[in-house]
Protein backbone atom coordinates (compact mmCIF):
# COMPACT_ATOMS: atom_id res chain seq x y z
CA UNK A 1 0.00 0.00 0.00
CA UNK A 2 1.21 3.53 -0.76
CA UNK A 3 2.02 5.66 2.24
CA UNK A 4 0.14 8.96 2.39
CA UNK A 5 2.22 11.98 1.40
CA UNK A 6 3.60 14.09 4.23
CA UNK A 7 1.38 17.21 4.55
CA UNK A 8 4.39 19.53 4.14
CA UNK A 9 5.21 17.93 0.80
CA UNK A 10 1.74 18.17 -0.69
CA UNK A 11 1.52 20.71 -3.52
CA UNK A 12 -0.66 23.70 -2.80
CA UNK A 13 -4.36 23.04 -3.35
CA UNK A 14 -5.16 26.75 -3.22
CA UNK A 15 -6.74 27.58 -6.59
CA UNK A 16 -4.75 30.02 -8.70
CA UNK A 17 -7.82 32.21 -9.12
CA UNK A 18 -7.97 32.52 -5.32
CA UNK A 19 -4.34 33.68 -5.27
CA UNK A 20 -5.22 36.34 -7.84
CA UNK A 21 -8.11 37.35 -5.59
CA UNK A 22 -5.73 37.59 -2.61
CA UNK A 23 -3.54 39.84 -4.77
CA UNK A 24 -6.26 42.51 -4.98
CA UNK A 25 -5.60 45.23 -2.42
CA UNK A 26 -8.55 46.53 -0.40
CA UNK A 27 -9.84 49.52 -2.41
CA UNK A 28 -10.12 51.62 0.76
CA UNK A 29 -6.37 51.36 1.35
CA UNK A 30 -5.15 54.66 -0.11
CA UNK A 31 -2.47 57.06 1.07
CA UNK A 32 -3.76 60.51 1.99
CA UNK A 33 -1.41 63.45 2.22
CA UNK A 34 2.11 63.92 1.00
CA UNK A 35 4.70 61.12 1.33
CA UNK A 36 7.37 61.58 3.96
CA UNK A 37 10.24 63.87 3.03
CA UNK A 38 13.42 62.17 1.83
CA UNK A 39 15.44 63.29 4.82
CA UNK A 40 17.33 61.18 7.36
CA UNK A 41 15.42 58.30 8.89
CA UNK A 42 13.78 59.26 12.16
CA UNK A 43 11.95 56.32 13.69
CA UNK A 44 11.51 53.05 11.82
CA UNK A 45 9.58 49.84 12.35
CA UNK A 46 11.53 46.68 11.58
CA UNK A 47 9.83 43.30 11.27
CA UNK A 48 11.86 40.09 11.17
CA UNK A 49 14.73 41.42 13.29
CA UNK A 50 15.47 37.97 14.73
CA UNK A 51 15.70 36.25 11.34
CA UNK A 52 18.93 35.85 9.39
CA UNK A 53 18.40 38.68 6.92
CA UNK A 54 16.59 40.95 9.37
CA UNK A 55 19.39 40.72 11.92
CA UNK A 56 21.84 42.19 9.42
CA UNK A 57 19.30 44.86 8.43
CA UNK A 58 19.08 45.93 12.08
CA UNK A 59 22.86 45.98 12.37
CA UNK A 60 23.19 48.17 9.27
CA UNK A 61 20.41 50.53 10.38
CA UNK A 62 22.31 51.12 13.62
CA UNK A 63 25.62 51.48 11.80
CA UNK A 64 24.59 53.61 8.83
CA UNK A 65 21.78 55.77 10.23
CA UNK A 66 20.86 57.64 13.40
CA UNK A 67 17.31 56.27 13.37
CA UNK A 68 15.47 54.84 16.33
CA UNK A 69 14.41 51.28 15.49
CA UNK A 70 11.24 49.67 16.79
CA UNK A 71 11.55 45.89 16.48
CA UNK A 72 8.32 43.90 16.26
CA UNK A 73 9.17 40.53 17.82
CA UNK A 74 7.11 37.44 18.53
CA UNK A 75 7.72 37.12 22.26
CA UNK A 76 5.70 36.96 25.50
CA UNK A 77 7.36 40.03 27.04
CA UNK A 78 9.48 43.04 26.18
CA UNK A 79 12.45 41.54 28.01
CA UNK A 80 12.08 38.29 26.10
CA UNK A 81 11.87 40.24 22.82
CA UNK A 82 15.05 42.12 23.68
CA UNK A 83 16.84 38.87 24.54
CA UNK A 84 15.83 37.32 21.21
CA UNK A 85 17.21 40.28 19.26
CA UNK A 86 20.45 40.47 21.27
CA UNK A 87 20.96 36.70 20.92
CA UNK A 88 20.42 36.86 17.17
CA UNK A 89 22.91 39.71 16.77
CA UNK A 90 25.45 37.77 18.80
CA UNK A 91 24.95 34.51 16.91
CA UNK A 92 25.43 36.28 13.58
CA UNK A 93 28.47 38.18 14.92
CA UNK A 94 26.95 41.52 13.97
CA UNK A 95 29.06 44.45 15.17
CA UNK A 96 26.68 46.59 17.22
CA UNK A 97 27.58 49.27 19.73
CA UNK A 98 25.92 48.20 23.03
CA UNK A 99 25.14 51.84 23.82
CA UNK A 100 23.42 52.30 20.45
CA UNK A 101 21.48 49.09 20.98
CA UNK A 102 20.33 50.29 24.38
CA UNK A 103 19.51 53.86 23.36
CA UNK A 104 18.16 53.42 19.85
CA UNK A 105 16.23 50.15 19.84
CA UNK A 106 12.85 49.51 21.42
CA UNK A 107 10.63 46.46 21.23
CA UNK A 108 7.01 45.55 20.59
CA UNK A 109 5.60 42.10 21.24
CA UNK A 110 3.52 41.07 18.26
CA UNK A 111 3.02 38.60 15.43
CA UNK A 112 2.93 39.65 11.77
CA UNK A 113 0.78 36.61 10.96
CA UNK A 114 -2.05 37.95 13.11
CA UNK A 115 -4.47 40.80 12.35
CA UNK A 116 -3.03 44.16 13.40
CA UNK A 117 0.16 42.25 14.35
CA UNK A 118 -1.77 41.11 17.44
CA UNK A 119 -1.36 44.62 18.88
CA UNK A 120 -4.13 46.38 20.80
CA UNK A 121 -5.91 48.96 18.62
CA UNK A 122 -4.51 51.90 20.61
CA UNK A 123 -0.95 50.51 20.31
CA UNK A 124 -1.34 50.05 16.56
CA UNK A 125 -2.65 53.61 16.23
CA UNK A 126 0.19 54.96 18.35
CA UNK A 127 2.73 53.06 16.24
CA UNK A 128 1.28 54.61 13.09
CA UNK A 129 2.15 58.07 14.46
CA UNK A 130 5.47 57.02 15.95
CA UNK A 131 7.34 55.71 12.90
CA UNK A 132 8.06 57.29 9.53
CA UNK A 133 9.41 54.25 7.67
CA UNK A 134 8.67 50.52 7.71
CA UNK A 135 11.23 47.84 6.85
CA UNK A 136 9.19 44.68 6.36
CA UNK A 137 11.65 41.78 6.39
CA UNK A 138 9.62 39.18 8.30
CA UNK A 139 8.44 36.17 6.32
CA UNK A 140 7.85 32.50 6.81
CA UNK A 141 10.40 30.88 4.51
CA UNK A 142 9.80 27.29 3.42
CA UNK A 143 10.43 25.51 0.16
CA UNK A 144 8.09 22.71 1.25
CA UNK A 145 4.97 24.26 2.72
CA UNK A 146 1.88 25.17 0.75
CA UNK A 147 0.53 28.60 -0.08
CA UNK A 148 -2.21 28.08 2.49
CA UNK A 149 0.33 27.45 5.25
CA UNK A 150 2.29 30.61 4.37
CA UNK A 151 -0.59 32.91 3.49
CA UNK A 152 -1.04 34.57 6.88
CA UNK A 153 2.66 35.27 7.44
CA UNK A 154 3.56 36.28 3.90
CA UNK A 155 0.41 37.79 2.40
CA UNK A 156 -1.95 39.02 5.09
CA UNK A 157 1.00 40.49 7.01
CA UNK A 158 1.84 42.70 4.03
CA UNK A 159 -1.67 44.09 3.91
CA UNK A 160 -1.38 45.07 7.58
CA UNK A 161 2.00 46.65 6.90
CA UNK A 162 0.37 48.72 4.16
CA UNK A 163 -2.56 49.62 6.44
CA UNK A 164 -0.04 50.89 8.97
CA UNK A 165 1.72 52.83 6.21
CA UNK A 166 -1.40 54.81 5.26
CA UNK A 167 -2.64 55.35 8.84
CA UNK A 168 -1.85 58.84 10.08
CA UNK A 169 1.12 60.45 8.36
CA UNK A 170 2.05 58.46 5.22
CA UNK A 171 5.06 56.23 5.76
CA UNK A 172 7.58 54.72 3.36
CA UNK A 173 7.59 50.93 3.06
CA UNK A 174 10.61 48.79 2.19
CA UNK A 175 9.36 45.29 1.45
CA UNK A 176 11.88 42.45 1.19
CA UNK A 177 10.86 39.86 -1.38
CA UNK A 178 12.65 36.95 -3.06
CA UNK A 179 13.94 35.65 -6.39
CA UNK A 180 11.38 32.85 -6.00
CA UNK A 181 8.85 35.15 -7.73
CA UNK A 182 10.85 35.05 -10.97
CA UNK A 183 9.74 32.68 -13.70
CA UNK A 184 11.71 31.29 -16.61
CA UNK A 185 9.29 32.05 -19.43
CA UNK A 186 11.96 32.32 -22.12
CA UNK A 187 13.17 28.76 -22.68
CA UNK A 188 15.75 29.75 -25.30
CA UNK A 189 17.87 31.47 -22.65
CA UNK A 190 16.92 29.83 -19.33
CA UNK A 191 20.03 31.00 -17.46
CA UNK A 192 19.30 34.70 -17.85
CA UNK A 193 16.51 36.36 -15.89
CA UNK A 194 15.92 40.08 -15.61
CA UNK A 195 15.30 41.47 -12.13
CA UNK A 196 11.78 42.43 -13.20
CA UNK A 197 10.99 39.05 -14.77
CA UNK A 198 8.25 38.39 -12.22
CA UNK A 199 5.89 35.59 -13.17
CA UNK A 200 2.73 36.81 -14.88
CA UNK A 201 0.73 34.37 -12.77
CA UNK A 202 1.48 32.30 -9.65
CA UNK A 203 0.58 29.23 -11.73
CA UNK A 204 4.10 29.46 -13.18
CA UNK A 205 5.65 29.11 -9.71
CA UNK A 206 6.11 25.69 -8.21
CA UNK A 207 6.15 26.32 -4.46
CA UNK A 208 3.88 27.96 -1.95
CA UNK A 209 6.65 30.31 -0.80
CA UNK A 210 7.17 31.86 -4.22
CA UNK A 211 3.42 32.06 -4.74
CA UNK A 212 2.87 33.84 -1.43
CA UNK A 213 5.64 36.34 -2.13
CA UNK A 214 4.25 36.91 -5.65
CA UNK A 215 0.89 37.86 -4.14
CA UNK A 216 2.63 40.11 -1.61
CA UNK A 217 4.51 41.97 -4.36
CA UNK A 218 1.25 42.61 -6.21
CA UNK A 219 -0.22 44.18 -3.06
CA UNK A 220 2.83 46.45 -2.68
CA UNK A 221 2.67 47.46 -6.35
CA UNK A 222 -0.99 48.50 -6.00
CA UNK A 223 -0.22 50.46 -2.83
CA UNK A 224 2.49 52.31 -4.74
CA UNK A 225 -0.03 53.21 -7.43
CA UNK A 226 -2.25 54.66 -4.68
CA UNK A 227 0.35 57.01 -3.28
CA UNK A 228 2.33 54.84 -0.85
CA UNK A 229 6.08 55.39 -1.11
CA UNK A 230 6.81 51.68 -1.45
CA UNK A 231 9.91 49.80 -2.55
CA UNK A 232 10.44 46.11 -3.32
CA UNK A 233 13.88 44.70 -2.51
CA UNK A 234 14.64 41.32 -4.05
CA UNK A 235 17.91 39.91 -2.66
CA UNK A 236 19.63 37.02 -4.39
CA UNK A 237 20.27 33.66 -2.83
CA UNK A 238 21.29 34.14 0.79
CA UNK A 239 24.50 32.30 1.67
CA UNK A 240 27.33 32.76 4.14
CA UNK A 241 28.34 36.26 5.17
CA UNK A 242 31.26 37.47 3.04
CA UNK A 243 33.40 38.37 6.07
CA UNK A 244 32.36 36.05 8.90
CA UNK A 245 31.03 33.09 6.91
CA UNK A 246 27.98 32.96 9.18
CA UNK A 247 25.27 31.06 7.29
When pLDDT is averaged across residues 164-180 and rounded to a whole number, the result is 94
The pLDDT value recorded for residue 185 is: 62
Q: Is the pLDDT of residue 217 over 90?
A: yes
When pLDDT is averaged across residues 68-74 and rounded to a whole number, the result is 98
Q: Is the pLDDT of residue 231 over 80?
A: yes
Adjacent-strand bridge partners of 88: none
Average pLDDT over the chain, rounded to whole? Answer: 90
The pLDDT value recorded for residue 168 is: 86
Q: Which of the four pLDDT bands, split at 50, 70 and 90, describes residue 20?
A: very high
Flag the least confident range among 27-36, 100-109, 132-141, 172-181. 27-36
When pLDDT is averaged across residues 176-203 and rounded to a whole number, the result is 80
Q: Is the pLDDT of residue 190 over 80?
A: no
Q: Is the pLDDT of residue 3 over 50?
A: no
Q: Is the pLDDT of residue 2 over 70?
A: no
The pLDDT value recorded for residue 29 is: 95
Residue of higher predicted confidence among 95 and 69: 69
Q: Is the pLDDT of residue 156 over 90?
A: yes
Amino acid sequence: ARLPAHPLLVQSQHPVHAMHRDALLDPTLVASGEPRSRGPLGSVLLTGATGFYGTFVLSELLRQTSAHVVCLVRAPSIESARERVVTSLSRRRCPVDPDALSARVSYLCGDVARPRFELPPNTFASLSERVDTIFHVAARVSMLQSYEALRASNVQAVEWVLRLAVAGTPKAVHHVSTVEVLADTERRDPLALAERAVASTPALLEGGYGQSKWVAEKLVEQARERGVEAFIHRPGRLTGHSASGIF
